[in-house]
Amino acid sequence: MVKSQSSQLKRTISRTLFFYFTRDISFAFLVSFLFFFGVFFVNQLLLMAQQILTNRVPLHQVVLLVFFAMPQIIALSTPFAALMGILMTIGRMSSDNEILIILASGLSYRMIFVPALAFGLFISVLSFLANDILLPAGQIEFRRLWRQIVLSNPALELQENTVTRFRDTTIITGPVDGTGISNILILDRTSTGERRLIMAQNAVLRDGGRDGLSLDLTRAFIHSAGEVVRSDYDYATTDFLRYWVPQDDIIQAISTISPDQMSARDLHRDIGIKAIALGARLHEQYGQTLTEALHLEQSLRAGQADFSWHRRERNLDSFMTEQRAATSLRRDRTLQLFRLEFNRKFSVPFASLCFVFLAVSLGLMAKKSGQTVGFIFSIIISVIYWAMLMGGQTFGLRMGYSPFLSIWMPNILSLFIGFILFLRRIQK
């Protein structure tokens, strides 16, 4: 009896077939990786072409920028390549009746699933390490080189129909023709702390060297207002105005480390710091809201005979203002962005593991032309996954949805659908 069970266990997993599966999946993964790498690589070159090559950036710096962008391309290509590699391998074996022969020889679906699961886990861990170590390092070097390029050619920071933020300055540009900009809007603060708005019909961008960059504005309108008393404002019009963006502001803008340039450990630490700081600000804001609520309650309880009754509308406006400020503060976009990026650090690499159930289930359904069917299905799934990931990130940032669900939903759906299809296949 014991001998029979031992024999059955050996027939569940075959070492020869395990290496056979792994070899075929690895080869298909390599081919698929080159395919997706080429797609993302060409996309990266097209993004750089208009912004860098048209501004006559030296070729060796362009090559270095592309090289430093490689980790990001690798991180994006890996999970989709794993999906395509597994799906094409299982699809080919299913259409060639190799799966049928394996099952007829007494082996179970475990012989098909275990190698795919092991490969998916290996690729997920490898992808996570690349995403957490190589990607931040590449992005830091990319930004460092970009800083050198921008300081020698500041015009790169102002592109067509974009919003560019410096230290205390936000520049919104319209159509750009060479160094000429149409319909430009500048938001900044004066030396006394007043908010200032500058609108101009046309602007000419000039490189000021170490002084930064200048904008020669024509037919400009300037409006400045106080922070507290909004009715206290000034405005003026002029046919010509030269506006300067200091070099220090440019350096600070291009030197700021973004969440995608951090490791998961650094992100987790910064999220904790930002959450504590936000909690302190919220506590203070809730105190101000409560104070205004008490003032409103006192004015309402006083009755018409008391002078405070006439302040009820003013107190109500103050309470609503503080309440809106608390609501806006609670939806901290910066903290939300860091949380989304932290979840993305894990969800994208481990998509390879979540794709295993889906890829194996769909591959087993192939009857003819398994590799072609696997290639087509993997392209469709990759597009849907990428669209859901971008959509989840956008909704999570703008609507304040749960960062975990916003980023992990494509993985959860892939795992759930694949698991259901796999169970139905086993029942048949």
Residue 88: exposure state from Cβ atoms within 10 A (0-12, 13-18, ≥19): buried
Distance of CA 8 to the CA centre of its chain: 48
**248 & 279 share domain:** no
**20 & 137 share domain:** yes
Terminal Cα distance for the chain, rounded: 29
**61 & 108 share domain:** yes
For residues 187 and 272, the answer to whether their CB atoms sit within 8 Å is: no
Q: How many other CB atoms sit within 10 Å of the CB of residue 136?
A: 21
Which of 155, 202, 124, 138 is closest to 57 using CA atoms? 155
**145 & 24 share domain:** yes
Residue 304 lies in a domain: yes
Q: What is the pLDDT along the chain (428 residues), one digit of tens a residue?
A: 444 444 433 456 678 888 888 899 999 999 999 999 998 888 777 766 656 665 667 777 777 878 888 888 888 899 999 999 999 999 998 888 888 888 888 888 888 888 899 999 999 998 898 888 888 888 778 777 776 776 566 556 666 777 777 777 888 888 877 667 888 888 888 777 788 889 998 888 776 655 667 788 998 999 888 755 556 778 899 999 888 877 666 555 555 667 877 888 888 999 999 889 888 888 888 888 888 888 877 777 777 666 666 677 787 888 888 888 888 777 778 888 899 999 999 999 999 999 998 999 888 887 787 788 889 999 999 999 999 999 998 888 888 788 999 999 999 999 999 889 888 877 76
For residues 238 and 230, the answer to whether their CB atoms sit within 8 Å is: no
What pLDDT is attached to residue 177?
72
Strand partners, 217: 203, 241
CA-based torsion, 384, 385, 389, 395: positive or negative:
positive
Q: And the tokens for 391?
A: 């959509």
Domain boundary among 306, 330, 354: 330
**32 & 144 share domain:** yes
* Cα Rg, the chain, nearest whole Å: 29
Domain boundary among 254, 271, 299: 254
Residue 9 lies in a domain: no
Residue 337 lies in a domain: no
**94 & 173 share domain:** no
Alpha helix (H) ranges present in 236-263? 247-255
Which of 106, 98, 78 is closest to 13 using CA atoms? 106
Q: And the tokens for 94?
A: 């299913």
Residue 321 lies in a domain: yes
**21 & 92 share domain:** yes
Residue 416 lies in a domain: yes
Please name the helix (run of DSSP H) or strand (run of DSSP E) that holds residue 384, with its range, or none: helix 370-398
Residue 44 lies in a domain: yes
Q: And the tokens for 370?
A: 């398994």
**31 & 116 share domain:** yes
Residue 5 lies in a domain: no
Q: And the tokens for 47?
A: 């993004």
Distance in angstroms (rounded) separating the CA atoms of residues 270 and 273? 5
Distance in angstroms (rounded) separating the CA atoms of residues 120 and 109? 17
Distance in angstroms (rounded) separating the CA atoms of residues 344 and 186? 34
Domain housing 178:
163-254
What pLDDT is attached to residue 306?
64
For residues 397 and 107, the answer to whether their CB atoms sit within 8 Å is: no
Domain boundary among 254, 284, 313: 254
**391 & 321 share domain:** no
- Please count the structural domains in the chain: 3
**25 & 97 share domain:** yes
What residues contact 125, with CB distance under 8 A and at least 6 apart? 349
Give helix 59-68 / helix 70-95 axis angle, nearest 10°.
60
**270 & 378 share domain:** no
213-225 and 195-207: which strand pairing?
antiparallel
Residue 66 lies in a domain: yes
**354 & 386 share domain:** yes
Distance in angstroms (rounded) separating the CA atoms of residues 422 and 109? 10
Give the global pTM.
Answer: 0.73
Which of 164, 155, 163 is closest to 50 using CA atoms? 155
What pLDDT is attached to residue 172?
85
Strand partners, 238: 220
